[in-house]
Amino acid sequence: MKKILFVASEGVPFIKTGGLADVVGSLPKYFDKKEYDVRVVIPKYACMDRSFLPNLKFLCHFYVNLNWRRQYVGIFESEYHGVHFYFVDNEFYFAGESPYNNIYEDVEKFAYFSKAVLASLPYIDFAPDIIHCNDWQTGLIPVFLHTVFGDDNFYAGIKTVFTIHNLQFQGRWRIQEIMDITGLPAHIFNAYELESYGEANYLKGGVVYADYITTVSPTYANEITTVEGGEGLSGLMTARKDRLYGILNGIDYEEYNPQTDPYISVNYSKKDAVSGKKENKAALQKELGLPVREDAFLIGIVSRMTSQKGFDLIGCVLDELLTEMDIQLVVLGTGEEKYENMFRHFAWKYPDRVSANIYYSEDMSHKIYASCDAFLMPSLFEPCGLSQLMSLRYGTVPIVRETGGLKDTVEPYNEYESTGTGFSFANYNAHEMMNTINYAKHVFYNNKREWNKIVDRGMLKDFSWTSSAKKYQKLYDNLLGY
């Protein structure tokens, strides 16, 4: 049995701020359980879904040193859908309304978390063959493993995989303070290890010290080796290219299933998608106070509101797009105030065409995936993107920019050959996006048969974890010399 410990800062169903949580909560279910014992460890945040608290079992506690600090570590555990989860408990670090606060608090929080996870292994009696780390919050795990835990026999031979879900977030802070927080040896804060642009960089540490690096789509794996996509680290990514793999994310096909989804008004399958979606659309329009119009071209957005997601393009052309009465836009998301206010403004200006829902809601997100005709995701960059996969699963046609995982998962419609699962444009340009939306709208209105075939082909695609989980298994096997 190969033992894998998955470490991350969030995981469904306990705590989620974005796609990372979806991956952490679903991928581990899909490994071959006869060969791989995959367990997950996340922090026990005060803001986690409290309904799970009664199911968490206290396992043990101990103390960990972070330089001159001596901090409490409690370990809880729980089984969820056949996966073993551990939770690191410390009420000082994991208080607060959200998993992430200020960067200067977060660098200490996640240095603590990384060291606590490694220190917990003998206590929880799990000696992993591989520790699979995710994003900058866990970047110090490979670093601690090879430095401060380097002389301890228990840790000898543990391999590490580091997955980049988003290179934009690197966990950068002043070197002196990171030395003080972590107690890591001064000599590793150099340009080949932890230092980057004069600061300490957790993600860089993970990339330098891990045995394998992966990211969440093949196109993004290429993009991060370029100056345009490398977020300042293209040189490092190029240097590690022989160890860098792009493995496409999947989604949980049990959780996101229009046939059984409890959140949506009417369940439907591929066979009755046209009528099923029609009923969901009417219900959503009614619920959100939009005119209940079957003929309106209903576009959905479910997203963190950050510049990554292409909202600047939308801001540029929404007035132009909405001059005609035939488009309705439903938005669900929270994030940067300027984008939240932008959508509030458009909802105020066009109350019969725009519904701005500035909050987080699992229910509403499922309703949008099920009810809309099209789903808009014009990202500036997108490591993988899960929302477009959810849309495809629910027969909602994605309109995307050709970047990262969007390029790998949405096949553009070709009217001459009648192929494709969505609509896409290449350049980060507002009018290019608008023309693509208008083209999609044209097909929707004037060629319903073709439109329905696009829906059909999208629903036929398989973006479950089945094939990607096998790729991770192969990577693990490779690393372990099988």
**Token pair for residue 31?**
């490994």
> DSSP H helical segments within 129-260, as ranges?
140-146, 175-182, 202-209, 218-223, 234-239
Q: Is 432 exposed, middle or buried (0-12, 13-18, 19+ CB in 10 A)?
A: middle
Site string for ligand ADP, 288-307 (x = CB under 6 A): --------------xxx---
401 near ligand GLC (CB under 6 A): no
Interface pick for ligand GLC out of 19, 171, 258, 458 (rule CB under 6 A): 19
Q: What count of residues does the chain have? A: 482
215 binds ligand ADP (CB under 6 A): no
Q: Residue 216 binds what, of ligand GLC, ligand ADP, none (CB under 5 to 8 Å, by partner type)?
A: ligand GLC
383 lies in the binding site for ligand GLC (CB under 6 A): yes
- The closest alpha carbon to 61, from 70, 69, 52, 51, belongs to 70
Least spacing, CB of residue 99 vs ligand GLC, in Å: 13
Residue closest to ligand ADP, measured at CB: 19
Picked from ligand ADP, ligand GLC, none, the partner binding residue 457 (CB below 5 to 8 A depending on kind) is: none
* Token code pair at residue 71: 């901090």
- Which of ligand ADP, ligand GLC, none is residue 5 near (CB under 5 to 8 Å by kind)? none
Q: Are 145 and 154 in contact (CB under 8 A)?
A: no
**How many of the other CB atoms lie within 10 Å of CB of 43?**
26
Question: Does residue 244 bind ligand GLC (CB under 6 A)?
Answer: no
Q: Which two tokens stand for residue 261?
A: 């989804």
Q: Is 247 in the site for ligand GLC (CB under 6 A)?
A: no
Closest CA to 366 of 291, 267, 461: 267
Give me the 214-243 binding string for ligand GLC, x by CB under 6 A, dash otherwise: --x---------------------------
Interface with ligand ADP (CB under 6 A), residue total 18
Q: Taking the complex as a whole, how short is the minimal distance between the CB of residue 21 and ligand ADP, in angstroms? A: 8
Q: What share of the chain is helix, strand, coil (3-state, %, to 5)?
A: 40, 25, 35
d(CA 254, CA 193): 41
| Helices 175-182 and 103-124, axial angle in degrees (round to 10) | 30
Options 64, 210, 386, 440; binder of ligand GLC; rule CB under 6 A: 386
Cβ proximity to ligand GLC, 216 vs 329, nearer residue: 216
- Only one of the segments 71-79, 146-154, 383-391, 445-453 lies at the binding site for ligand GLC (rule: CB under 6 A); that segment is 383-391
| Candidate segments 129-137, 174-182, 293-301, 332-340, binder of ligand ADP by CB under 6 A | 332-340
Q: Does 234 bind ligand ADP (CB under 6 A)?
A: no
Contacts of 187 (CB under 8 A, 6+ apart): none
Residues that contact ligand GLC, how many (by CB under 6 A) = 14
Which tokens in the block code for residue 193? 């290890």
Tell me the closest approach of the beta carbon of residue 37 to ligand ADP, in angstroms: 27
Residue 249 or 328 with smaller CB distance to ligand ADP: 249
Q: Are 424 and 401 in contact (CB under 8 A)?
A: yes
Q: How far is the CB of 203 from ligand GLC (least distance, A)?
A: 13
Residue 428 interacts with ligand ADP (CB under 6 A): yes or no: no
From residue 139, give the alpha-carbon distance in Å to each of 7, 18, 113, 144, 162.
10, 19, 11, 9, 7
Binding residues for ligand GLC, per CB under 6 A?
Answer: 18-20, 23, 165-166, 216, 249, 382-386, 405
Binding residues for ligand ADP, per CB under 6 A?
Answer: 18-20, 22, 302-304, 332-334, 360-362, 365, 384-387
